[in-house]
A and B are shown apart, each in its own frame.
Chain A
Amino acid sequence: MTQDHPSKLSFSIEESVWLNKGQEVDEIVSLSLDPEITVQEQGDYVLIRGCLKLTGEYRTSKSNVSEGDNEELLASQVAFRSIEEVMVTEDGLGQIRHNFPIDVTIPQERINSLDDIYVIINSFDYDLPERGCIQLTADVSITGMSSGNSKREETDKVMESTEIEQEEIERTFHYEAYHQEQIEEADEEIIAQFPTESENDEIETVEDRDEENNVELTIENEETVIQDGKAPSIAFGVVKDRPTNQDSAISQEPIGMLKIFTGNQIKPRTEANPQPEARAEANEAELINADQIIAAKPQSAARTEANEAELINADQIIAAKPQSAARTEANKAELYVDQLIAAKPQSEAQTDRNQIELNTQIGTEVTQQLEVINKTNELVAEDFLVKANPQPQARNEVVANEVLEAKLKSQPKARNEEPVVEAKKQEPELSNKAEGIKTKTPREENALYLTKMLTKEDGEHFKKLKICIIRENETLETIASRYKVTQSILIKANRLNDANIQVGQILYIPVTQ
C-alpha cells in the first residue's frame, strides 16, 4: 500500500513593480501579502482559487517634498510613526494594491482532506533596488497534499513517473514576474493593476467578452488540462526538468525555473480605462507535447522567436498571472498539465518549423498540476497541426507570434493594430475533458482522434483548432454561429451524440479554410 505523506507545493515569487515617473517610491510605509482562497471540489479535482492580495502604502519623493520646509528640521527627518499610526491608513500616501490570482487544480486523489489545504505565505519581503522599482519576493506554499498516488501507480504502473512526480512535489519552483509601469496613478494613489477577481469573472462571462478577442485554451485529458483564459498579458513559461525523448524542442529556460513576465514589461500601459476591444489579445496556443518540458516563453523571447517552439510538458505547471496594468488585456490562463498533448501551431508560411511552443501570455495565475505523467507518449498526438484561419484572408498571413509581437509593442500601437491582432490570434485548445475520461484508452483515443481530426481526416483543411468553454445560455447553435461553422461539424468534431451541450463543457472548434 502506498504510504501517503503530507506534502506541500512551494514556489517563490519574485516580482518587480515599476512605478510611473514622478511617483518613485521614497519609502515603503507598509506592504503585506495575504492569501484569500477558496477550495472547491469539482469532479475529480480540487480547485484552489483566489488570490494573493498585495496591499501596501508608500511615500513618494513628492510626498516628502510636500512636507516642504520641515524637511530641513532634524526632528521631522527622524520622526517615525507610532504603532497605532502604523496600523491605520495614512492619507497622502501612495497605495499599492495588487492581486495575484491563484488557480490551482489538484486531483482529488492527491488530497487527504480539504481542511488540510492552506495557502501559506512563508516569507515575504521587498527591496527597493531603485526608487522607481519595488522588488517583491515571497515564498508561497500550498499545504495539504499527499505525495502518494496509489491509484495511479496501480493503474498505470509507471513507477518512474511517480517517483519523479513525488520528487517534484517537494520541489520549490522559482517564479518570476516582472511588471513595468503598471502602477496607475490616481492622485497620490497608485494601483498596480493586475486582473482582479472581478475582472476574471468578467472575463468569463459571455456577455462581456468579445468572442473573437477572448482566448480560451483548455487541454484537459483526465489528468491534464491546459487552459488559457482571456487575452494574456504576460508570457509564461514552465520548464520541467525531465528528460525529453520525443520532441526536438529545447526549452530556453533554466530547468526547474518558471518565469512569468507581465505584458507590461514590454507593453506599457497608457490608458486607465480598459476598452472591451483592447482585451483582445492574441493568445497562442500551441503546443503541447507530452513527456516533454513545458516551457512558455516570455514575450520578449516570443518576439524574437516568433513561431518557434517552446516545449511544454507538464507534470507540474505553475502559471502565474499578474494583473497587469493593462486591464484591457486581462486574461485568464490556466494550465493544468499532467499529460501532454502535443500540439504544434503552424502557420502556412511556417510549416517547416517543428518546434513546439507554448507562447501564451498570461498573468500571475498560478496553476499547477500535480499529476504524474503516465505514459504521456501515448497521449502525445504527434505534433498536431493546428491550422487556423479564423479571419478572412488578409489576416491569415500573420502567425500568432507575430500577433503577439504586435501586442508587445506600445499600447497605442497595439491598439491601432487591434483588428489585425484579433484576426490573427491563434487559439488552439485541446481537451479531453469530455466526460471524465478515466483510463488510458480513452485518452489515447482522444489523442488519436484529435490527431486524425486535425490532420485532415475528412479532407478538411483545418488551420486552427479553437477551444471554447460553454457558458450559460450558450447553445451549439450560437457557438456554431459565432465561429461560422455548422453544428454538424461541431457535433462531429466533438463526437457529441446530439446538439445538447452543458455549461462548462469544452468544445473544439475546427476552423476550416
Chain B
Amino acid sequence: MDMLRQIMSEYELSDLNWIIKDQIFLSESGKKRIRIWNDKQLLEWHVKWRDEISRQSGILLDRMIRTKAGEPFIICTNGWATIHDEIEAEFPTQGKEVEWGRLFGTALAYGLKHNDPCPNIKNKQEIPLKAVKQSLDQLTHIDSMTKLILERSYFEAQRRNHQAMKLSEHIQTNKLPILLPFNSFTNAKEVFFHLFWVSGEDQPVRGYEPIRNLLEKWFEKNGEGSTLRLLETINNFYSLKEEQGSLLLAQLLIPYEFKRTVTQLWTQEKETVQIMDEYFKSWEITRKLVLLLSDWLEKDREKAVADAYQ
C-alpha cells in the first residue's frame, strides 16, 4: 500500500502530497515528516521522552502525531512509522537562554531520574588516549609541524584526562543522566515565537557529552555572558552544583578534540589545514569553557560558604 494512502487511512489527515518522497508531505494541516523506526524499543523510548519533556517543560517538541486510534505510530512495511510536524523556521539562541535552559534542564532532570539500564542506550566505547597516540605515531603523511603540535598537545590531553579522572573519583555517585545527542542548533525551530525542539530519532546516550556539545557550540556562538545565563537557567531545573556539575566539568576535560583530530587526519576527509584549524578552535573553546564552568561552580560554592557564615 502506498504510504500516503496508509497515513490517510490511519491518521486524521487529508490532502496529502509528497514534498520529499517518503520523508516530508504536505497535508491540510501543514507539513509533516515521516520517520521510520526499525527498533520498537527505541521508538517507545522516544515517544515517552517527548511526551514527558513536553509536559514537564512546556516546550513544544516534535511529538508523535496520534493516529485515529490514539496510537503514536503505525506499522509499515519497513517497521514502524511516526508522523511529526515539520517546521522550517529556526529558533534563535542569543537572548533565548531561558527557553533553551528550560528544555535542557528538564531533559537533564528527566534523564537522571530515568536512567535505568536500557538496551538502546548507546554505550560509547572510549578509545584510550594512548591508543590515539599510537595512531598518531603511525601517521606518516602529515607534515612535521602538524605532528609536533599534536605530539605536544598529547601531553596536555593526557593531563586533561587525568584531571577528569581525578574529578570523577571524588564524586560519590556514578549516576549520569540519559540524554539525546545534541548535534546542532538547527534542531531548534520556532513556532509562534516559541521553541519547537526536533528530537530526531537518535539513540540516547548516557552522560554529559550532549550538554558538552551544546555548551561548546553555545559558547562559540554566543560568548561567555550568554553561556552563563544558559547555565543559570539549566541550574534552575537541574542542579549543576555539587556532584553533577563536577561530572559535567570532568566531561569537558576529556580531550575529545585530540582524538577527533587524529581520526580526521587518518581519514583525510578534509584538508589538514582545515582539520588543524578546527583543532585549535575546539581546543580553545573547551579550554575557556572549562574555566568558565569551574569559575561558575566555584562561585556558587564560595557564595554558599559565605552565606553559611552570615
Closest to B129 in A: A125
Q: Let me know if B290 and A80 touch, CB within 8 A.
A: yes
Residues 130-152 of B at the A interface (beta carbon under 8 Å): 130, 133-134, 137-138, 148-149, 151-152
A75/B294 contact (C-beta < 8 A), A27-B162, A83-B153 known: yes
- For A28, the chain B residues whose CB sits under 8 A away are 155, 158
- For B297, the chain A residues whose CB sits under 8 A away are 74
Closest to B250 in A: A78
Q: Let me know if A122 and B137 touch, CB within 8 A.
A: yes
Chain A nearest CB, measured from B300 CB (Å): 10
Chain A nearest CB, measured from B296 CB (Å): 9
Residue among A29, A75, A77, A78 with most chain B CB within 10 A: A78
Q: Let me know if A87 and B138 touch, CB within 8 A.
A: no
Bound form: Cα–Cα A32–B151 in Å: 7
- For B159, the chain A residues whose CB sits under 8 A away are 27, 29, 80
Q: Let me know if B160 and A80 touch, CB within 8 A.
A: yes
Q: Let me know if A74 and B133 touch, CB within 8 A.
A: no
Q: Let me know if A80 and B253 touch, CB within 8 A.
A: yes
User: Which of A29, A77, A78, A122 interacts with B155 by CB under 8 Å?
Assistant: A29
- For A125, the chain B residues whose CB sits under 8 A away are 130, 133-134, 137
Chain B nearest CB, measured from A32 CB (Å): 6
Closest to B298 in A: A74
Interface status of B167 (Cβ within 8 A of chain A):
yes
Interface status of B280 (Cβ within 8 A of chain A):
yes
Interface status of A73 (Cβ within 8 A of chain B):
yes
Interface status of B76 (Cβ within 8 A of chain A):
no
Interface status of B156 (Cβ within 8 A of chain A):
yes
Chain A nearest CB, measured from B59 CB (Å): 31
Q: Let me know if A86 and B130 touch, CB within 8 A.
A: no
Q: Let me know if B138 and A32 touch, CB within 8 A.
A: no
User: Which of B162, B284, B294 interacts with A83 by CB under 8 Å?
Assistant: B284
What is the 8 Å Cβ interface bit string for chain A, positions 223-237, against chain B (1 contact, 0 not)?
A: 000000000000000
Interface status of B163 (Cβ within 8 A of chain A):
yes
Bound form: Cα–Cα A29–B153 in Å: 9
Interface status of A478 (Cβ within 8 A of chain B):
no
Closest to A127 in B: B130
- For A21, the chain B residues whose CB sits under 8 A away are none
What is the 8 Å Cβ interface bit string for chain B, positions 279-294, against chain A (1 contact, 0 not)?
A: 1100110010011001
Residue among B152, B279, B291, B297 with most chain A CB within 10 A: B152
Residues 62-101 of B at the A interface (beta carbon under 8 Å): none
Residues 41-97 of A at the B interface (beta carbon under 8 Å): 73-75, 77-83, 86-87
Interface status of B295 (Cβ within 8 A of chain A):
yes
Closest to A56 in B: B155
Bound form: Cα–Cα A124–B298 in Å: 38
Closest to B252 in A: A78
Bound form: Cα–Cα A87–B280 in Å: 12
Chain B nearest CB, measured from A31 CB (Å): 6
Interface status of A30 (Cβ within 8 A of chain B):
yes
- For B163, the chain A residues whose CB sits under 8 A away are 77-78, 80
Q: Let me know if A78 and B137 touch, CB within 8 A.
A: no
Q: Let me know if B294 and A74 touch, CB within 8 A.
A: yes
Closest to A88 in B: B152
Interface status of B249 (Cβ within 8 A of chain A):
yes
A75/B152 contact (C-beta < 8 A), A28-B158, A125-B134 known: no
Chain B nearest CB, measured from A482 CB (Å): 47
- For A79, the chain B residues whose CB sits under 8 A away are 287, 290-291, 294
What is the 8 Å Cβ interface bit string for chain A, positions 17-39, against chain B (1 contact, 0 not)?
A: 00000000001111110000000
User: Which of B153, B279, B280, B298 interacts with A73 by CB under 8 Å?
Assistant: B298
Q: Tally B residues with Cβ within 8 Å of A.
A: 33
Chain B nearest CB, measured from A334 CB (Å): 28
User: Which of A78, A121, A122 interacts with B290 by CB under 8 Å?
Assistant: A78
Q: Let me know if B298 and A82 touch, CB within 8 A.
A: no
- For B167, the chain A residues whose CB sits under 8 A away are 78
Interface status of A123 (Cβ within 8 A of chain B):
yes
- For B280, the chain A residues whose CB sits under 8 A away are 83
Q: Let me know if A83 and B137 touch, CB within 8 A.
A: no
Bound form: Cα–Cα A125–B153 in Å: 13
Q: Let me know if A83 and B283 touch, CB within 8 A.
A: yes
Q: Let me know if A87 and B137 touch, CB within 8 A.
A: no
- For B279, the chain A residues whose CB sits under 8 A away are 83
A75/B130 contact (C-beta < 8 A), A83-B279, A83-B283 known: no
A124/B290 contact (C-beta < 8 A), A30-B155, A74-B297, A83-B280 known: no
Bound form: Cα–Cα A363–B230 in Å: 59
Q: Let me know if A82 and B287 touch, CB within 8 A.
A: yes
Bound form: Cα–Cα A79–B287 in Å: 7
User: Which of B138, B148, B149, B295 interacts with A122 by CB under 8 Å?
Assistant: B138
Bound form: Cα–Cα A381–B175 in Å: 73
Closest to A81 in B: B156
Residues 95-126 of A at the B interface (beta carbon under 8 Å): 121-125
Bound form: Cα–Cα A388–B297 in Å: 75
Bound form: Cα–Cα A87–B149 in Å: 7
Residues 119-147 of A at the B interface (beta carbon under 8 Å): 121-125
Bound form: Cα–Cα A27–B268 in Å: 32
A83/B298 contact (C-beta < 8 A), A27-B162, A75-B291, A78-B290 known: no
Bound form: Cα–Cα A80–B158 in Å: 11
- For B138, the chain A residues whose CB sits under 8 A away are 122-123
Q: Let me know if B151 and A75 touch, CB within 8 A.
A: no
A75/B284 contact (C-beta < 8 A), A87-B152, A122-B137 known: no
What is the 8 Å Cβ interface bit string for chain A, positions 490-506, against chain B (1 contact, 0 not)?
A: 00000000000000000
Bound form: Cα–Cα A77–B138 in Å: 32
Chain A nearest CB, measured from B248 CB (Å): 11
Bound form: Cα–Cα A78–B149 in Å: 21
- For B284, the chain A residues whose CB sits under 8 A away are 82-83
Closest to B292 in A: A75
User: Which of A78, A82, A123 interacts with B134 by CB under 8 Å?
Assistant: A123
Bound form: Cα–Cα A28–B130 in Å: 14
- For B160, the chain A residues whose CB sits under 8 A away are 80
A78/B294 contact (C-beta < 8 A), A27-B162, A86-B152, A86-B155 known: yes
Chain B nearest CB, measured from A504 CB (Å): 35
Chain B nearest CB, measured from A194 CB (Å): 21
Bound form: Cα–Cα A80–B291 in Å: 9
What is the 8 Å Cβ interface bit string for chain B, positions 154-178, against chain A (1 contact, 0 not)?
A: 0110111011001100000000000
Residue among A27, A32, A74, A121 with most chain B CB within 10 A: A74
User: Which of B133, B149, B151, B287 interacts with A80 by CB under 8 Å?
Assistant: B287
Q: Let me know if A83 and B149 touch, CB within 8 A.
A: yes
7 residue pairs from A and B, CB less than 8 Å apart: A30-B155, A75-B298, A79-B287, A80-B156, A83-B153, A125-B130, A125-B134
Which residues does A use to contact B, with CB under 8 Å? 27-32, 73-75, 77-83, 86-87, 121-125
Q: A32-B152, A74-B298 are in contact. List 15 more A-B contacts (CB 8 A).
A: A30-B152, A30-B155, A73-B294, A74-B294, A74-B301, A75-B295, A77-B294, A79-B294, A80-B160, A80-B290, A81-B287, A82-B284, A83-B284, A87-B152, A124-B137
Which residues does B use to contact A, with CB under 8 Å? 130, 133-134, 137-138, 148-149, 151-153, 155-156, 158-160, 162-163, 166-167, 249, 253, 279-280, 283-284, 287, 290-291, 294-295, 297-298, 301
List the 9 closest pairs (A to B, CB-CB), nearest first.
A123-B137, A75-B294, A74-B294, A74-B298, A30-B155, A86-B152, A86-B153, A30-B152, A78-B294
